[in-house]
Amino acid sequence: MDLQELNISTLKEMVKTVERSSKRIDTIIQPFMGDNLNRKQWIELYQVGKFISLLDVYSRITERRESPDFIISFNDEFIGLEHESIKDEKIASDFQSTSALFDDAAIEFSKRFPGINILANISLSVDRLVFKKHEKSVFIDTIVDFVSNYLSNQETPRPYFIGDINIMDHSMVSFNYNPIFHNINQLKEDRLLSAIKKKESKTTSYRENSNLEKQWLLLTIGTYYPDSFEFSDNPFQIEVISDFDRIYLMEDIHGYLWRIK
């Protein structure tokens, strides 16, 4: 077997592994999917589903709720699970405003074209999409018009800020935007401890609200978005004193999971 055949074989096996992982996650989260999920809730559900799939003991989601965000069954024991994404706040503001723009465009598309449920993955062709508040409605109309024309195969000028677009059938209307490549910062120890501290004061209310003694915290990083963080292959050793029974850190893209308490 030559090197090219080996690489093709390895690639095919990697694809199969990803497909198997996706099916496991879909099975875990399917009972909790619904048209009423917004983008933030969908990402949270998907990440918790991936977390469940990475645990070495049979586990499942039993309830999606608030404070804590989920109840899970782990080794036949019910546990409260709080989810928190660690983000680079310096970048997050611009990213969130752009995300909200595409979310609002999806809502407008639903109003104009009821019954057409699609997932549109849209890549930006600019580093930052900057717009003023009074310009937002113009950008929304531009996005909706472009997506609808693309669906109907109409020749239409591509807006300057849109790069590639991929559309598929979906259970709801969702417009996901993908920013162009950014250097992702490494997660530092102080930022990790800050995220834990943010949730630490709420552990008592989590126990009271869920009527469950055991509470876990899931921290997530490593998404495709520029406001996320990376964690090195040789992560720093950190000793955490916390009221949470367990704390996990998950890097989403690669599916890495570390238990840090």
**Does the pTM exceed 0.75?**
no
Say if residue 114 is in the same domain as residue 170: yes
DSSP 95-107: HHHHHHHHHHHHH
What phi and psi values does residue 132 have, to the nearest 5 degrees?
-90, 165
Indicate whether 71 pLDDT > 80.
Answer: yes
End position of a domain, from candidates 148, 178, 208: 178
Q: Which residue range(s) make up the domain with 212?
A: 3-86+187-259
Number of H helices, E strands in the chain: 6, 11
How far, CA to CA in Å, does 11 sit from each of 14, 21, 225, 250?
5, 15, 25, 24
End position of a domain, from candidates 178, 211, 243: 178
Say if residue 96 is in the same domain as residue 153: yes
Higher pLDDT, 235 or 8: 235
Higher pLDDT, 219 or 235: 219
Say if residue 251 is in the same domain as residue 123: no
Q: What one-character DSSP code corresponds to residue 236?
A: P
Q: What is the pLDDT of residue 128?
A: 76
Say if residue 115 is in the same domain as residue 152: yes
Would residue 211 be called left, alpha or beta, if left means φ above 0 and alpha means ψ between -120 and 50 degrees?
Answer: left
Helix (H) or strand (E) holding 33: none
Indicate whether 196 pLDDT > 60.
Answer: yes
End position of a domain, from candidates 161, 178, 195: 178
DSSP 187-203: PPHHHHHHHHHHHHTTH
Say if residue 203 is in the same domain as residue 244: yes
Q: What is the mean pLDDT of residues 155-173?
A: 86
Say if residue 106 is in the same domain as residue 167: yes
Say if residue 192 is in the same domain as residue 82: yes
Say if residue 48 is in the same domain as residue 96: no
Rounding to the nearest 10 degrees, give the CA dihedral for residues 160, 165, 169, 170.
-70
Helix (H) or strand (E) holding 68: none
Say if residue 80 is in the same domain as residue 18: yes
Say if residue 198 is in the same domain as residue 75: yes
* For the chain, percent of residues with pLDDT exceeding 90: 41
Q: What is the pLDDT of residue 236?
A: 61
Say if residue 69 is in the same domain as residue 139: no
Q: What is the mean pLDDT of residues 47-61?
A: 93
Spatial separation of the C-alpha atoms in residues 124 and 131, rounded to whole Å = 14
- pLDDT, tens only, 107-142: 999 999 998 998 888 988 887 788 888 999 999 999
Count of C-beta atoms within a 10 Å radius of residue 89: 9
Say if residue 191 is in the same domain as residue 76: yes
Indicate whether 26 pLDDT > 50.
Answer: yes
Q: What is the mean pLDDT of residues 33-59?
A: 87
Instruction: Name the least confident of 8-22, 26-40, 61-75, 91-105.
Output: 8-22
State the pLDDT confidence band at 60, using cuts at 50, 70 and 90. Answer: very high
How many structural domains does the chain have?
A: 2
Contacts of residue 152, Cβ cutoff 8 Å, sequence gap at least 6: none
State the pLDDT confidence band at 14, using cuts at 50, 70 and 90. Answer: very low
CB 246 within 8 A of CB 257: no
Q: What is the pLDDT of residue 132?
A: 87
Mean of pLDDT over the chain:
83
